[in-house]
Structure 1
């Protein structure tokens, strides 16, 4: 099996048609058809169901597509990192993060890692689910997220639980006192990110649902900055982790909640079973110190 077989397979799977896939790959259709047939024979599994109107992935084909994507992502990441290392003679350390963790300890960790002149730090803004996939594909070395996702190839470590606060339009009556979850539920809510879960939006809405409170979600947006812009426009409130209060925004006031123990986790993700190299050991040492500062009140 060659890498071209995986690329050919992915093109056919995406197009669900040999003719369109061949055009995408800039090859003739007969060689493409033969290559897919050879791939199926080598694996010993039919990857496609041939129908009159096109192709459909089999159950095995769907699984193979997911694995092929991860393999090619890993290859591409390895090639890019190799080129970067050759050009700069540096070790690349890639970090995935959700935006809401970038206002606390993470910038300090990046700053300290960058003191090592032999390191090049690459940052990738990724949702937690995307971080898990990126770890498995070798695109990142460590990820920082909010959501627990079970995966046999990835370890998730709870660093600490962070209090939630409410971002409220300036001058709103809710800014005159610590609002309760019940009071907030009576106001329009903005959630982020939009899209399929599990994500931070599911987590924040679940805080209300578990208390038997109904919500009026008027807008789902893709990112924190947009959510805060809508809050500043007096569209509604949103819940954010405590460290976001460092992001000063005109027209937005950050209020602690009246309810106790309303928290959201900060989770580190790493590849399971991988012996940490020197860079990872350095990152872990820096991270341990920052988390200790957070837990003992020496914030950040």
Structure 2
């Protein structure tokens, strides 16, 4: 008697869906070959696994027994494969990069792609986390480097300025302030509801945004705090207000949002965050890509 793991997966799909048609759709295959493979399995075991006279089809007693054992076998094989993947990955040093979402629109994806190509000896992983989480993860050794927009004071963490990125304003397409493609002053933006992100935890990029207005004794009439950049942009598109974003974010090119330069030419830092002390060679290799 020879049963392969694929037959068991086919059987479990049909058993879960209680339908050959739905099982085939779940497996992304045609129904006819699926039915043939189940029939071959039944012939191999010399039992009938499904009562095909009922709708939806049901498992026979033998089918119920096979289902219990098949789940155990398939789950065990999946765990074995996962264990082997972890073992193979562990053979290479792991290098984890923490990042805040807004950094993904700058040069970071390009830099990480180049780093993957050049550092083939490393198992490189990405972890999205906010500023406070990055600092904690660095000190705990859960990440090797972080990319962010704000400085979090901590004696065990060092910040390196990679570049200053111009900030622009995002407004609903067709907004009067976008007419003529002119620069928009902070005073004009302050007359609108201002959408800032992330609302928590603080400090965050939201505080940096608000500081530009506070330094000029300006304060928007309504400040709306949201968790993520994408949420802020959706709210802008819906006409809920304006949002100040890094220039690189306009690569999203949404038709329902317009972008304009800010007259005061404000910028946000693009920072590399690392543990204090000597810089490891793996991190030096990453930093050199920004030169």
Per-residue Cα deviation, 1:243-289 (whole angstroms, up to 9, x for no partner): 111122221111101123x1111111111114413x222212113x3
Which residue matches 2:236?
231
What's the CA shift for 1:90?
2.2
**Alpha-carbon contact 2:172-2:238 (below 8 Å) kept:** yes
Q: Secondary structure at the match of 1:265?
A: strand
Equivalent residue for 2:207? Answer: 202
> How far does the alpha carbon of each residue in 1:71-111 deviate from its partner, in whole angstroms, 9 at most, with x for none?
xxxxxxxxxxx997632322211111111111121101110
Question: Structure 1: how far apart are the matches of 2:151 and 2:142?
Answer: 20
- Structure-1 residue corresponding to 2:272: 268
Larger radius of gyration: 2
Alignment of 1:101-250 (within 5 A): 101-115=103-117, 116-176=119-179, 177-250=182-255
Cα distance, 1:196 vs structure 2: 3.5
Q: Distance in 2 between matches of 1:85 and 1:273?
A: 30
C-alpha displacement at 1:197, in angstroms?
Answer: 1.4
Question: 2:96, 2:144 within 8 Å by CA — same for their partners in 1?
Answer: yes
Distance 2:160 2:84 in 1: 32
User: Structure 1: which 4+ aligned runs deviate by more than 4 Å?
Assistant: 82-85
Tell me the TM-score normalized by structure 1.
0.65
The two structures have a TM-score, normalised by structure 2, of 0.67
Cα deviation code 1:129-157 (max 9, x no counterpart): 21111100111111011111111111111
Tell me: CA distance 1:174–1:153, structure 2 relative to 1, closer, same or farther (3 Å): same
Q: Is the 8 A contact 1:191 1:217 kept in 2?
A: no
Contact 1:168-1:254 at 8 Å conserved across structures: yes
* Deviation at residue 118 of structure 1 after TM alignment: 2.6
Aligned residue for 2:105, secondary structure, equals: coil
Structure 1: segments with no counterpart, 5+ residues: 1-81, 290-300
Contact 1:85 1:91 in 2 (8 A): no
Contact 1:166 / 1:256 at 8 angstroms: preserved in 2?
Answer: yes
